[in-house]
Structure 1
Amino acid sequence: MSVVPSAVEAERAVIGAILLDNQVVNTALDLVSAAEFYRDSHRIIYQSIQELSADNRAIELVTLADHLKARGELDRIGGLSALGEMARETASAANIEAHCKLIREKAQLRRLLDAAERIKQNVASSSQPTEEILEEAEREIFQVATQKNFKEPVLVKDIITGVFDKIQELSELKGRLTGVGSGYPDLDDKTAGFQKSDLIILAGRPSMGKSALALNFIENVILNEKLPVVLFSLEMSAQSVVMRLLSSISKVSFERIRKGKVSLQEQADLAKAANRLSRVKFFIDDSSNLTPLEVRSRCRRLISQTGPLGLVAVDYLQMMTSNKRSDNRVQEVSEISRALKSVARELDVPMLVLSQLSRAPEHRKDFRPQLSDLRDSGAIEQDADIVAFIHREDYAGRGGSGAGGEAELLIRKHRNGETGMIPLVFIGELMRFESAARDEYAAEETKVYDAAEE
């Protein structure tokens, strides 16, 4: 019979240390909870210690015994003699932190065993499809892995040297980006690039070009930054994504590609673009109804195969489902947003997430979106490090053709930097945005329309 992970002696040592020296009680309470004690009697004693501490009462042999007696639990834990024995056998409170951490580790292993048993029973008895059983298994493991771990407050003097070294390191970059470049200089000037662990929300109404701009970001990361990227495309198929990228890279009209009306020269340009794409590490997952848990597990598998990712992108948030099913869509979207931020932090990678907007901008004189327009949940704004809106006055459905023209990237929230408007130009034929200041725009647009007339 297998032995259940436990640290009974450490549990006794923690209780004894608190009885020996009340000064360590806060250290213990910060590090470990009563639920993490293995032996029932120890759990009951520690629960009483928590309650006495909450009432600002001294914790010593007599007061603890009285509290347990008042709850009718003194005999259950072995009486006053059991408490006295723990106090006598503890020589010092010096190792209480190590003992608490050992208790936590064993508790987590027990939770893992419990999860494994539930998975085993589910596999043996469930009539669910294999994919659903696997998803449930991943959810069980995910919940164990993401149990809140203790991280004690740090004294500023202990980290100030490291912070100063970081400042020095940044100054030596001499203006170079500290994060992953977007390909748009004005945007990178504000953000210093997409930073690791940041949740970046790119939102807009339908037809504004959210997916197009996201693919433009991805194009720069894979071709110029030469970093691996994974796109979770819940709306477009992988083939459609690649077709759009080929159009953008080759500067061949997307419509001409889609309709099969490309010239010989354009075929050659597309072949060159395809050759460039075939050499990069760009992964597309076009599964539908993804959960944050699945995003996490698939990213982890990719990282184990390719190394760190340069960018994770999700198109788009409202098409995802939560790991915790809910009839309340606002609550579900809040769970998704919070979970994606956790994944970005855990994987230490910038995460670009596209989001829909409500119809509120259409009912205002100024159509430019605001943070309050984010659809389904205010939690998106709270969780995000950057919130940016793509806005085009001429988009289809508002009197314009949507073929191209001026666009604005509105940074409405930036946790660690400045906000503002970045002017862009949308080239509809290529499903591509360019910086408004770029001289190439005129030449590219001429090339597109010349090709269309052939």
Structure 2
Amino acid sequence: MSDDSQTATNIERTQPNDADAERAVLGSMALARTAVLDVVDTLDGIKQPFYQPAHETIFNAMLALYANGQPLDPITLTNQLHQQGLLDKVGGRAYIHSLANSVPTAAHAGHYAEILRNLALLRAVISTGTDLVQMGFQARASHETAAQIVDTAAATLQELTAAAKGGNESREWMLDRVVDAVLDEYDNPRDDVLPLPWADLQSVAPMEPGDLVVIAGRPAMGKSLVLLGIGRHVAIKHRRGCLISSMEMSHVQMGQRLVAAEAHVPLHALRARTLSKEQYAHVRQARERIRRSPLRIDDTPAVPVSKWRRRLRQLQAKNELPAALIVDYLQIAKAEVKAHNRVIEVDSIAVGLKALAQEFKIVVIAAAQLNRVSEHRTDKTPTLSDLRESGGIENNANIVILLHREDYYDRESPRAGEFDFIVAKNRMGHNATVTTAWQGHYARIVDMEEA
């Protein structure tokens, strides 16, 4: 065995861990459901808090049971693991029953979890250091520059720092400081409200850092155009960073809509390559404006909240944190913990997006699908209750905007060409309906006076 391999083996054998503390955490959760919240809160943001793979498997199974409202007793847990074909891999029935006997009470679950948190962070430090050393040695073979490696190292260490602080930082504020902050804001108006391309909507529902904004509509109602319109306005016109996570359309499809809207040329002509010389000149000019903008598009499918968090931390480490994260769309994102009930998964995604908005002090805008109920109403107008697969979306959102076009259902409607933003929830303002102009052939929506 080489010296390097021997060193790696020694490091692996001496990884910080405490099997008794791991059993105590699991045993506490089995004794009392209330212990789950203490454990989850303490381990929040920690990757692989358990050193033993079997314990990690058991922990995930318990979280799934908890998410579905089921008991966490040894019998239910054993049945769950048996159905998943994992029971023998984690030690069998006898081991599962022994966990509940590993602690006399669940009262100290948070303390045991804190032990796991500290040990997991130490393992993460060791792993990070090893990875960075390997990256340094392999840089030439991987064609990475020193600057790229330093950026990766900084982002990784930033993530570790945030994980180490999370759970220990106090968020308490004295009332006098809260009042002072309100008056300071009044005397010095904020300039971080997200700029929108529609003036009336901007005045009715201003979007501020920390907000989760939900844009909801039926399929083909224009959700993607709304999101792209916001991203284009924020990044190209106002030169503020914007990250669009497009899980439904590819970056090429998003790019086609972006170019058509910015160049003010027909989308079908751009896709069919039938633009006139004048139109193509507009496209080339638009391309330069787009290339200079701080707009990013990620078309990775089925993204979990944790991936957005890692990406935002990387951008934060490089002082490139965007003003807005735009998600298209919420119901096809991936839940961190698989639950038997999709409603529970969607609710957890909404909670995670809200947490991102507050943690990074940015605006998170997420599209959401509405169910078919509105199509059975006489006027087809959607309401909050039409949000598909979730009550958590409505509960966690600061602003919910429903989209509606009468001519989608009736081409002869006297309101043909009009596009309604129905502000159905507005935590810091009033509800209203803002009417704009639909220009689908140009892949954009504009104020009525611009139509």
TM-score with structure 2 setting the length: 0.65
Corresponding position of 1:161: 180
Alpha-carbon distance change, 225 to 119 in structure 1, aligned in 2, over 3 angstroms: closer
> In the alignment, which of 320, 324, 334 is matched to residue 347 of structure 2?
334
SS in structure 1 of the partner of residue 411 of structure 2? coil
- Is residue 2:251 matched to residue 1:265? no
Corresponding position of 1:400: 411
How far does residue 319 in structure 1 lie from its aligned partner after superposition? Answer: 1.0
Contact 2:205 2:423 in 1 (8 A): no
Alignment of 1:56-205 (within 5 A): 108-113=117-122, 148-149=167-168, 151=170, 153-170=172-189, 178-192=192-206, 194-205=207-218
Alpha-carbon distance change, 429 to 3 in structure 1, aligned in 2, over 3 angstroms: closer
Corresponding position of 1:378: 391
Alignment of 1:434-449 (within 5 A): 434-436=446-448, 438=449, 440-441=450-451
Corresponding position of 1:344: 357
Runs (5+) with no aligned partner, structure 2 = 1-10, 19-37, 44-102, 105-110, 130-155
Task: Tell me, in whole angstroms, the C-alpha distance in 2 between the residues paired with 1:353 and 1:272.
Answer: 30
Task: Tell me, in whole angstroms, the C-alpha distance in 1 between the residues paired with 2:358 and 2:200.
Answer: 26
Contact 2:217 2:369 in 1 (8 A): yes
SS in structure 2 of the partner of residue 331 of structure 1? helix
SS in structure 1 of the partner of residue 314 of structure 2? helix
Alpha-carbon distance change, 253 to 307 in structure 1, aligned in 2, over 3 angstroms: same
Alpha-carbon distance change, 387 to 255 in structure 1, aligned in 2, over 3 angstroms: same
How far does residue 243 in structure 1 lie from its aligned partner after superposition? Answer: 0.9
Task: Tell me, in whole angstroms, the C-alpha distance in 1 between the residues paired with 2:118 and 2:262.
Answer: 50
SS in structure 2 of the partner of residue 218 of structure 1? helix
Contact 1:250 1:272 in 2 (8 A): yes
Runs (5+) with no aligned partner, structure 1 = 7-30, 37-71, 74-101, 121-136, 442-454
Corresponding position of 1:131: none
> In the alignment, which of 313, 328, 338 is matched to residue 326 of structure 2?
313
Corresponding position of 1:421: 433
> In the alignment, which of 243, 258, 273 is matched to residue 256 of structure 2?
243
How far does residue 155 in structure 1 lie from its aligned partner after superposition? Answer: 3.3
How far does residue 197 in structure 1 lie from its aligned partner after superposition? Answer: 1.2
Task: Tell me, in whole angstroms, the C-alpha distance in 1 between the residues paired with 2:184 and 2:254.
Answer: 42
How far does residue 103 in structure 1 lie from its aligned partner after superposition? Answer: 12
**Aligned pairs, how many?**
326
How far does residue 111 in structure 1 lie from its aligned partner after superposition? Answer: 4.2
Task: Tell me, in whole angstroms, the C-alpha distance in 1 between the residues paired with 2:349 and 2:193.
Answer: 25
TM-score with structure 1 setting the length: 0.64
How far does residue 303 in structure 1 lie from its aligned partner after superposition? Answer: 2.7
Q: 1:182 is aligned with what amino acid?
A: L
Corresponding position of 2:336: 323
Task: Tell me, in whole angstroms, the C-alpha distance in 2 between the residues paired with 1:346 and 1:280.
Answer: 25
How far does residue 228 in structure 1 lie from its aligned partner after superposition? Answer: 1.2
Contact 1:5 1:109 in 2 (8 A): no
CA RMSD after TM alignment: 3.8
Alpha-carbon distance change, 203 to 383 in structure 1, aligned in 2, over 3 angstroms: same
Task: Tell me, in whole angstroms, the C-alpha distance in 1 between the residues paired with 2:436 and 2:447.
Answer: 5
SS in structure 2 of the partner of residue 424 of structure 1? strand
Alpha-carbon distance change, 351 to 432 in structure 1, aligned in 2, over 3 angstroms: same
Corresponding position of 1:25: none
Q: Deviations over 1:17-74 (max 9, x none)?
A: xxxxxxxxxxxxxx999x99xxxxxxxxxxxxxxxxxxxxxxxxxxxxxxxxxxx99x
Alpha-carbon distance change, 3 to 300 in structure 1, aligned in 2, over 3 angstroms: closer
Corresponding position of 1:232: 245
How far does residue 370 in structure 1 lie from its aligned partner after superposition? Answer: 0.8
Task: Tell me, in whole angstroms, the C-alpha distance in 1 between the residues paired with 2:355 and 2:260.
Answer: 34
Alpha-carbon distance change, 279 to 260 in structure 1, aligned in 2, over 3 angstroms: same
Q: Deviations over 1:245-276 (max 9, x none)?
A: 11001111001111111111111010000111
Task: Tell me, in whole angstroms, the C-alpha distance in 1 between the residues paired with 2:171 and 2:258.
Answer: 46
Q: 1:432 is aligned with what amino acid?
A: R
Corresponding position of 2:222: 209
Q: Deviations over 1:354-396 (max 9, x none)?
A: 000011101112311111111100000001011001110111x
SS in structure 2 of the partner of residue 394 of structure 1? helix
Q: 1:418 is aligned with what amino acid?
A: H
How far does residue 157 in structure 1 lie from its aligned partner after superposition? Answer: 2.7
Task: Tell me, in whole angstroms, the C-alpha distance in 2 between the residues paired with 1:168 and 1:181.
Answer: 21
Alpha-carbon distance change, 118 to 364 in structure 1, aligned in 2, over 3 angstroms: farther
Contact 2:236 2:294 in 1 (8 A): no
How far does residue 304 in structure 1 lie from its aligned partner after superposition? Answer: 2.4
Q: 2:306 is aligned with what amino acid?
A: L
How far does residue 163 in structure 1 lie from its aligned partner after superposition? Answer: 2.8
How far does residue 107 in structure 1 lie from its aligned partner after superposition? Answer: 7.0
Alpha-carbon distance change, 201 to 32 in structure 1, aligned in 2, over 3 angstroms: closer
SS in structure 2 of the partner of residue 377 of structure 1? coil
Corresponding position of 1:363: 376
Contact 2:225 2:444 in 1 (8 A): yes
Alpha-carbon distance change, 331 to 154 in structure 1, aligned in 2, over 3 angstroms: same
Identity among equivalent positions (%) equals 28
Q: 1:212 is aligned with what amino acid?
A: L
Q: 1:230 is aligned with what amino acid?
A: L
Q: Deviations over 1:152-185 (max 9, x none)?
A: 6443234433332222112xx7xxx650111211
Task: Tell me, in whole angstroms, the C-alpha distance in 1 between the residues paired with 2:195 and 2:278.
Answer: 31
How far does residue 224 in structure 1 lie from its aligned partner after superposition? Answer: 1.8
Contact 1:361 1:367 in 2 (8 A): yes
SS in structure 2 of the partner of residue 369 of structure 1? coil
Task: Tell me, in whole angstroms, the C-alpha distance in 2 between the residues paired with 1:196 and 1:244.
Answer: 27
How far does residue 347 in structure 1 lie from its aligned partner after superposition? Answer: 1.3
The structure showing larger relative contact order (alpha-carbon pairs under 8 Å, at least 6 residues apart) is 2
